[in-house]
Amino acid sequence: MNAPIVRFAPSPTGLLHIGNARTALLNALFARREGGTFILRLDDTDLERSKPEYAAAIEEDLRWLKIPPDVVVRQSDRFDRYRAAAERLKAAGRLYACYETAEELEYRRKRQLSRGLPPIYDRAALRLAADEKAKLEAQGRRPHWRFLLDHRAVSWPDLVRGEAHVDCASLSDPVLVREDGSYLYTLPSVVDDIELGVTHVIRGEDHVTNTAVQIQIFEALGGAVPRFAHHNLLTTASGEGLSKRLGHLSLRSLREAGLEPEAVASLAVLVGSAEAVRPVKDIRELARLIDFSHISRAPAKFDETELQQLNARLVHELSFAEVADRLAALGVRGGEAFWLAVRTNLSKVSDAVEWWSVVEGPITPVIQDEAVVRAARQHLPPPPWTEATWKAWTEALKQATGAKGRALFMPLRLALTGRDHGPELAHLLPLIGPERAGRRLMGEAA
């Protein structure tokens, strides 16, 4: 196989969400694995709704996911190419002018339905004589332009779905150019795929019907038809479709919540496939796991709880070198000893702030068992403290108090940390230190 060229084609009218990430990752990782090219094509032909801040956010999100594009293309820079393609289709008789208003089309659709007929466009515009068109234009009507479909079945070998086909006789001739001269998605997409040499179109299964139409446009323009892979879509855990209005599932919100990009990528790629969902730290390994033929046909549920669990598993494996700069930015000191002490108790790296505040203080000690705490003060080990200090200290307290197990350890934990759970005290104790521990055992905020 020649090196593939793929594209991810969002419109910059909002923030990317986790469902968009699935498509972007499948494209980018496939290209990376096969030594190909990953194109970000910003579908910004809707000049009113497209915003530069959203375009910038899309590129930022892709960098965060560690899949920066090799090439960035903006459709708003390419209108001359779309005009040229439209003129070619007009000259070939494949793009024809239609003058119906939206209200007239809706009336016809309802009338066809009432007669038990499929609600597809009846091609009435093809029967208009030149003088009839002139009369309509004299009334101030401007045409929209439809692509004349061949009424035949179009088939293609889909890399996810297997052999796929759509009978184009069941479809309305699609509008490619609006009355105001602006373009719908379909024509610019095909023109760009031809000119950019796109070899594989990897996208959601909601585009399956579009594929048959686009294949006919590829053929009409003399372009090579790419391979298609239509993956299943992500839904929320409750089965609701994802959209830009679900702001809490935007990549920006997930990033700001402190989630690891590898956790997001692992879930977005592996859910709804034959591969078990697990945290994959190396993006190259994740690329090796992609197999389009193993993607389920059923919708894949994105479970936020599962994402949190994946994130925690990843955090537990992070070395101090991998997080040192982030901890410093959070104001967390303590070095590698602190990180190794607390990481298995974290769901996110930012959770380290809480445990650093426990170490550094001040905290409010909880004195649950005065006898145990008093004995702990009396047997407080001399410095220096190491990880062996905890065991020696608690052994001495067992002998002094007769307390053991939870009856011994819980009063100490509550007094030293103010919490009834947390990292191993053997690791935390040297970080807390003798002076601060002694004050806490006195019940003082320290």
Identify whether 390 is part of a domain. Answer: yes
Q: Is 170 helix (H, G, I), strand (E, B) or coil?
A: helix
Same domain, 103 and 171: yes
pLDDT digits (tens, 9 = 90+) for 138-161: 999 999 999 999 999 999 999 999
CATH number at residue 167: 3.90.800.10
Same domain, 71 and 187: yes
pLDDT digits (tens, 9 = 90+) for 269-287: 999 898 999 999 999 999 9
Q: How far apart are CA 26 and CA 28, in angstroms?
A: 6
Q: Is 18 helix (H, G, I), strand (E, B) or coil?
A: helix
Identify whether 281 is part of a domain. Answer: no
Tell me: pLDDT of 244 over 80: no
Identify whether 293 is part of a domain. Answer: no
Tell me: pLDDT of 15 over 70: yes
Q: How far apart are CA 202 and CA 136, in angstroms?
A: 42
Q: Which of 196, 222, 193, 195 is nearest to 207 (CA)?
A: 193
Tell me: pLDDT of 247 over 70: no
Identify whether 98 is part of a domain. Answer: yes
Report helix, strand and coil shares of the chain as percent, to nearest 5: 50, 15, 35
Question: What would the two tokens of residue 190 be?
Answer: 């095909």
Question: What would the two tokens of residue 65 be?
Answer: 């996911």
User: Strands, DSSP E only, in 273-376?
Assistant: 300-302
Same domain, 90 and 119: yes
| Residue 235 pLDDT grade (very low, low, confident, very high; cuts 50, 70, 90) | confident
pLDDT value for 240:
78
Amino acid at 392: A
Question: What would the two tokens of residue 428 be?
Answer: 């935390």
Same domain, 171 and 217: no
| Residue 81 pLDDT grade (very low, low, confident, very high; cuts 50, 70, 90) | very high
Instruction: Give the domain range for residue 386.
Output: 361-441
Asked if 54 contacts 284 with a C-beta cutoff of 8 angstroms, the reply is no
Q: 203: part of which helix (H) or strand (E)? A: strand 200-204
Q: How far apart are CA 377 and CA 375, in angstroms?
A: 5
pLDDT digits (tens, 9 = 90+) for 173-192: 999 999 999 999 999 999 99
Same domain, 13 and 156: no
Question: What would the two tokens of residue 222 be?
Answer: 């003399």
How many structural domains does the chain have?
Answer: 3
Same domain, 123 and 56: no
| Residue 239 pLDDT grade (very low, low, confident, very high; cuts 50, 70, 90) | confident
CATH number at residue 69: 3.40.50.620
For 327-345, give one letter per residue: b (16+ CB within 10 A) or e: beebebebeeebbebbbeb
Question: What would the two tokens of residue 366 be?
Answer: 């909880």
